[in-house]
A and B are shown apart, each in its own frame.
Chain A
Amino acid sequence: MKIMVAVKRVIDYAVKIRVKPDKTGVVTQNVKMSMNPFCEIALEEALRIRESGLASEVVAVSMGPSQCIDTLRTGLAMGADRGIHVEANYSLYPLSVAKILKKLVEIEKPRLLILGKQAIDDDCNQTGQMIAGLLNWPQGTFASKVVLDKEKQVATVDREVDDGIETVCLNLPAVITTDLRLNQPRYATLPNIMKAKSKPIKKFTPEELNVEIKSDLEIVEVTEPPKRKSGVIVSSVDELIDKLKHEANVI
């Protein structure tokens, strides 16, 4: 069985982002970029499934400008077998990403597609659900535990939902999106980073895949959120209670 994992290159999660003065977006030049944390978890899960003998190959896919190759190399250094880069120098919304993924699924024929539950830049939380819809595959979103049954060809997924954990059983092929608590992603070791350099990365463009990139969303502006007025440091519990009672009127 083959597993396909989609990984996204985003601004590193620890970076304090800056909004561009012309309000067209956020500054990405000379900013540290990394693999989206949820994508790391997705890849780690795929690798663990392969290591347990339930899958034979893990293919990592990334879409966007040429620098996405770096993200794919990171994935290959973690242990993915090969990479696919779909080069696009314009912004891709989740619907387009899902359509490109659908084409790649038709080419590669994986039995399982694992994605992060959301990218920490656009915070959309859509792509996995959309690709599942396009493929008419069942979806296990916000997964905190995945158990595969090779005999029955099903995946049992624990999902993090608003009021606890929900368990669903999916017939393969299926789409799974990962939540934070699914696993602890490994670090790439130096020898593996070296090895990753010789692993193959196939290249495509959306045009070659015959995917029409539809843009039905337009970014009007990107602004900074309103600043909170600066607060005060109180010196004692008594002062705190007094302020909450008489100044803020919340207790």
Chain B
Amino acid sequence: MATRMILRRVIQKRTVLFPLSLSTSRKGSTLVVAEHEHEGGAIKPSSLSALFAATCLPDNDSSVSLLLAGSGPSLHQAASLAASSHPSISQVLVADSDTFKSPLAEPWAKLVHLVQQKGGYSHIVAASNSFGKNVMPRAAALLDVSPVTDVTAISDSLTFVRPIYAGNALCTVRYTGASPCILTIRSTSFPVSQKSVDSKSNKASISRVDLSTFDEDLGKSMYISQTSQDDERPDLGNARVVITGGRALKSAENFKLIENLANKLGAAVGATRAAVDAGFVPNDLQVGQTGKIVAPELYMAFGVSGAIQHLAGMRDSKVIVAVNNDADAPIFQVSDYGLVGDLFEVIPELLEKLPEKK
């Protein structure tokens, strides 16, 4: 909430004085490195958050270019979707090559480098997800600049807030180096409203990235496969409600209780490191400093003690509910509503008494 308020203030105060280092160069222009779905070509929600963050940069002159890469019809579908549906995009750059079919860091970082050399952007923004974290620091090294990762608020065009020490401190950093300023942003801090992406008035130009000078340097890394859970539930990072289970669930079998409750509430399922390490659920459900960062409207934690590293991933949730049989568990220090009790009694009762969700 606080972040959102700061942001709103930042957006209103577009007349901030810019540091000298930038005022000597031309107006800022921003490149957003985006991912799209391989079916349908929709821009991924995390990339839309990055786009929103880019529009929050005060000296931005509303000149945002979106970089899409891949091959096949979904890429071009994505480009035309992006060009016509997002008013803040002035240009869509398309890199069409089989090299970019998979999200390998080596070609992607080189692509960002190439596009930057041609476009001379003042900022490059991507989401701080596993793709952005993998690619952007590598691209930054190629450009010889320090990236700022996991940005949660933008103070001015070169000053950003990012959490350190598992979110137990907030660090305001100023980028003083040469262009571009490279950012990865925490998606939950830049929530995308449906309104801002639905306007159809805009029609940005689409241009192809000239890859004739692209040095593919093939054979260094190869994409083999991706295994993912087919999941009917909402995506953990964007869910409105998240139900999380910890070690106290005791087994993968018992974890079904959490899943049942999630189904009833239309919620995403999360887990602590203990629950993942014990094999109750796959690793991509881990919430915390090293897992996913979530900020849903309602976060319900069952059998979660509330270690520093777990709190790092959920402390910005709007309402936190904790159910634990240990009244001294640290989770109760951050919960809005705590219930001291046995989750094996509480969850069935909740399942019975909660109103049905569509």
A residues contacting B by CB (< 8 A) are: 11, 13-14, 16-17, 19, 26, 93-95, 98, 117-118, 120-127, 129-134, 136-142, 144, 156, 159-171, 174, 179-181, 214-226, 228-238, 240-241, 243-245, 248, 250-251
Which of A220, A223, A244 contacts B174, CB < 8 Å?
A220
Is B252 an interface residue, CB under 8 A from the partner?
no
B273 touches A162 (CB 8 A): no
B146 touches A216 (CB 8 A): yes
Leading 9 A-B pairs by shortest Cβ distance: A216-B177, A164-B228, A133-B141, A138-B221, A129-B137, A130-B141, A126-B137, A133-B138, A167-B224
Is B59 an interface residue, CB under 8 A from the partner?
no
Which of A11, A126, A221 contacts B165, CB < 8 Å?
A11
A136-B217, A168-B223, A169-B224 given; A122·B176 CB < 8 A: no
Q: Render B150-189 as a binary contact track against A, CB cut-off 8 A, 1 for contact.
A: 1000000001001111111111111111100000000000
Q: Which residues of A contact B133 (CB under 8 A)?
A: 125, 129, 141
Q: Which residues of B contact A144 (CB under 8 A)?
A: 283
Min Cβ gap B44→A in Å is: 10
A216-B178, A232-B338 given; A120·B173 CB < 8 A: no
A214 to B178 CA separation, bound complex (whole angstroms): 11
Q: Which residues of A contact B289 (CB under 8 A)?
A: 120, 123
A228 touches B315 (CB 8 A): yes
Q: Render B15-30 as a binary contact track against A, CB cut-off 8 A, 1 for contact.
A: 0000000000000000
A129 to B136 CA separation, bound complex (whole angstroms): 8
B105 touches A139 (CB 8 A): yes
A95 to B265 CA separation, bound complex (whole angstroms): 45
A123 touches B137 (CB 8 A): no
A126-B140, A181-B283 given; A224·B169 CB < 8 A: yes
Which stretch (B48-56, B114-122, B317-325) binds chain A?
Answer: B317-325
Summarize B's interface: helix, strand, loop or mixed.
Answer: mixed
B172 touches A141 (CB 8 A): no
Is B257 an interface residue, CB under 8 A from the partner?
no
Q: Nearest B residue to A137 by beta-carbon distance? A: B220
A139 to B109 CA separation, bound complex (whole angstroms): 11
A118 to B283 CA separation, bound complex (whole angstroms): 17
Summarize A's interface: helix, strand, loop or mixed.
Answer: mixed
Which of B149, B220, B337 contacts A138, CB < 8 Å?
B220
Is B134 an interface residue, CB under 8 A from the partner?
yes
| 6 pairs from A and B in contact (CB 8 Å cutoff) | A95-B140, A129-B105, A163-B226, A168-B222, A232-B338, A237-B346
Q: Which residues of B contact A251 (CB under 8 A)?
A: 241, 265, 298, 354-355
Q: Which residues of A contact B145 (CB under 8 A)?
A: 95, 216
Q: Which residues of A contact B171 (CB under 8 A)?
A: 219, 221-222
Which stretch (B78-86, B90-98, B196-204, B328-336) binds chain A?
Answer: B328-336
Q: Nearest A residue to B229 by beta-carbon distance? A: A164
B residues contacting A by CB (< 8 A) are: 2, 103-106, 109, 129-131, 133-142, 144-150, 159, 162-178, 217, 219-229, 237, 241, 265, 273, 276-277, 282-284, 289-290, 292, 297-298, 308-309, 315, 318-321, 327, 332-340, 346, 349-350, 353-355
Q: Which residues of A contact B277 (CB under 8 A)?
A: 180-181
A95 touches B146 (CB 8 A): yes
A120 to B174 CA separation, bound complex (whole angstroms): 21
A250 touches B130 (CB 8 A): no
A11 to B166 CA separation, bound complex (whole angstroms): 12
Which of B141, B170, B337 contacts A224, CB < 8 Å?
B170
A60 to B349 CA separation, bound complex (whole angstroms): 54
A94 touches B350 (CB 8 A): no
Min Cβ gap A127→B in Å is: 8
A238 to B346 CA separation, bound complex (whole angstroms): 10
Which of B144, B334, B339 contacts A228, CB < 8 Å?
B334
Min Cβ gap B347→A in Å is: 9
Min Cβ gap A111→B in Å is: 14
A237 touches B138 (CB 8 A): no
Q: Nearest A residue to B335 by beta-carbon distance? A: A231
Q: Which residues of A contact B2 (CB under 8 A)?
A: 226
A219 touches B172 (CB 8 A): yes
A161 to B35 CA separation, bound complex (whole angstroms): 14
B354 touches A241 (CB 8 A): yes
A234 touches B339 (CB 8 A): yes
Could you say which of A162, A170, A222 has the most chain B C-beta atoms within 10 Å of its C-beta? Answer: A162
A241 touches B221 (CB 8 A): no
Q: Nearest B residue to A180 by beta-carbon distance? A: B290
B177 touches A164 (CB 8 A): no
B169 touches A218 (CB 8 A): no
A66 to B223 CA separation, bound complex (whole angstroms): 41
A234 to B332 CA separation, bound complex (whole angstroms): 11
Min Cβ gap A207→B in Å is: 19
A129 touches B319 (CB 8 A): no
Could you say which of A174, A224, A234 has the most chain B C-beta atoms within 10 Å of its C-beta? Answer: A234
B174 touches A237 (CB 8 A): no
B130 touches A165 (CB 8 A): no
Q: Which residues of B contact A95 (CB under 8 A)?
A: 140-141, 144-146
Q: Which residues of A contact B265 (CB under 8 A)?
A: 251
Min Cβ gap A237→B in Å is: 4
A165 to B338 CA separation, bound complex (whole angstroms): 35
Q: Which residues of B contact A98 (CB under 8 A)?
A: 141
